[in-house]
């Protein structure tokens, strides 16, 4: 029985279409995709990873940036649902992490210890390229309904197109240029987290929330705020906790 509500899905697609405008904010977009996927699929958390020039998956964004969750994305360098989805180009669905130790000896026990019981990964595809994955974590055991898997694949495909900001890729170079830019942008965000953590004596997770709130309140792109915070930290007196 599919979980995803058609009405809610229609609303999400409209939301996504609305973000594909001139002031496109890549990281807010990733946040939208991961948050909405989590809500539609009724799972605890969703993360988005992109591939680098070595073929390694790198964390880009998640529905929640808790440290223990981020580690679960980062531990999947050699094995895990994202590796499987990335290499096969097809969804990886796992209903019960407690029986997955043989399949993923490093990843499965850590995911269970973090409180998750099911995991799924949907590849981010552009024609013959797989450029990353959406990683879903559930607090309960249970498969994703096949119809839901198709819908989430559709969302993932839309996210991929948005990343490349072109309906058709005119130039072969566009994909690499865009991926490299996105990967470097994530680094800027990590550096900005460090700057804010140091300036305001908070941990890096709270630093991220401060950056996001500031960007939203001032209608700025998260990346632009991060960039400016790292370049000129003293010019953000309003960026304070509380």
Partner 1 sequence: MNSPVGHVRALIAAEQIDGRDPATAEGFLRCLCAAAVRAVPASGAALNVLVGDGSFGLWIDGGAGSKVITELQVTLGEGPSVDAHATRRPVFEPSLGDSGVTRWPVFAAGAMDLGVRAVFAFPLQVGAARLGVLELHRTAPGSLTDDQLRVALTFAQVGVSRLLGSTEDLDGSGTDGFEAANADQAVLHQAQGMAMVQLGVSLGEASLRLRAHAYATGRRLTEVARDLVERRIINLDGEGAQSPDEDLDEDLA
Give residues in contact with partner 1 (CB under 8 A): 53-54, 56-59, 70-71, 73-75, 77, 171-173, 176-178, 180-181, 184-185, 187-199, 204, 226-227, 230-231, 233
Distances (CA, A) of 111 to 28, 44, 65, 71, 223: 26, 12, 15, 9, 30
Q: Cα 143 vs. chain centroid, distance in angstroms?
A: 21
| Ramachandran sector of residue 239 (left: φ over 0; alpha: ψ -120 to 50; beta: rest) | beta
For 158, half-sphere exposure in the C-beta direction (CA atoms, 13 angstrom radius) is 22
Distances (CA, A) of 9 to 15, 51, 151, 169: 10, 27, 9, 27
- Burial of 242 from C-beta contacts in 10 A (0-12 / 13-18 / 19+): exposed
Q: Minimal distance in Å, beta carbon 131 to partner 1?
A: 12
**DSSP category for residue 234:** G
With respect to partner 1, which residue has the nearer C-beta, 112 or 204? 204
With respect to partner 1, which residue has the nearer C-beta, 56 or 103? 56
Q: Minimal distance in Å, beta carbon 88 to partner 1?
A: 19
- Burial of 6 from C-beta contacts in 10 A (0-12 / 13-18 / 19+): exposed
Position of tokens 């649902």?
81
Q: Cα 198 vs. chain centroid, distance in angstroms?
A: 25
Q: Minimal distance in Å, beta carbon 83 to partner 1?
A: 12
With respect to partner 1, which residue has the nearer C-beta, 82 or 149? 82
With respect to partner 1, which residue has the nearer C-beta, 70 or 112? 70
Task: Report helix, strand or coil for 102.
Answer: coil
With respect to partner 1, which residue has the nearer C-beta, 4 or 72? 72
Q: Minimal distance in Å, beta carbon 130 to partner 1?
A: 13
Q: Minimal distance in Å, beta carbon 216 to partner 1?
A: 21
Q: Minimal distance in Å, beta carbon 71 to partner 1?
A: 6
With respect to partner 1, which residue has the nearer C-beta, 29 or 236? 236
């Amino acid at each position: 029985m599919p979980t995803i509500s058609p009405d809610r899905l229609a609303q999400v697609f409209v939301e996504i279409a609305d973000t594909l405008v001139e002031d496109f904010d890549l990281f807010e977009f990733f946040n939208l995709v991961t948050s909405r996927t989590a809500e539609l699929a009724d799972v605890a958390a969703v993360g988005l990873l992109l591939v680098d020039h070595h073929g390694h998956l790198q964390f880009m964004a998640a529905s929640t940036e808790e440290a223990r969750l981020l580690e679960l994305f980062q531990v999947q360098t050699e094995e895990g649902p994202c590796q499987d989805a990335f290499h096969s180009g097809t969804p990886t669905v796992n209903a019960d992490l407690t029986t997955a130790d043989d399949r993923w000896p490093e990843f499965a026990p850590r995911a269970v210890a973090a409180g998750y019981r099911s995991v799924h990964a949907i590849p981010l595809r552009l024609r013959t390229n797989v450029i990353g994955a959406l990683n879903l974590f559930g607090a309960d055991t249970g498969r994703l309904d096949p119809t839901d898997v198709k819908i989430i694949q559709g969302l993932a495909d839309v996210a991929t197109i948005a990343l490349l900001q072109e309906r058709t890729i005119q130039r072969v170079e566009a994909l690499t240029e865009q991926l490299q830019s996105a990967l470097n942008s994530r680094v800027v965000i990590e550096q900005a987290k460090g700057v804010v953590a140091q300036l305001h004596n908070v941990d890096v997770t709270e630093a991220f929330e401060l950056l996001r709130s500031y960007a939203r309140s001032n209608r700025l792109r998260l990346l632009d705020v991060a960039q400016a915070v790292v370049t000129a930290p003293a010019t953000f007196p309003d960026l304070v906790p509380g």
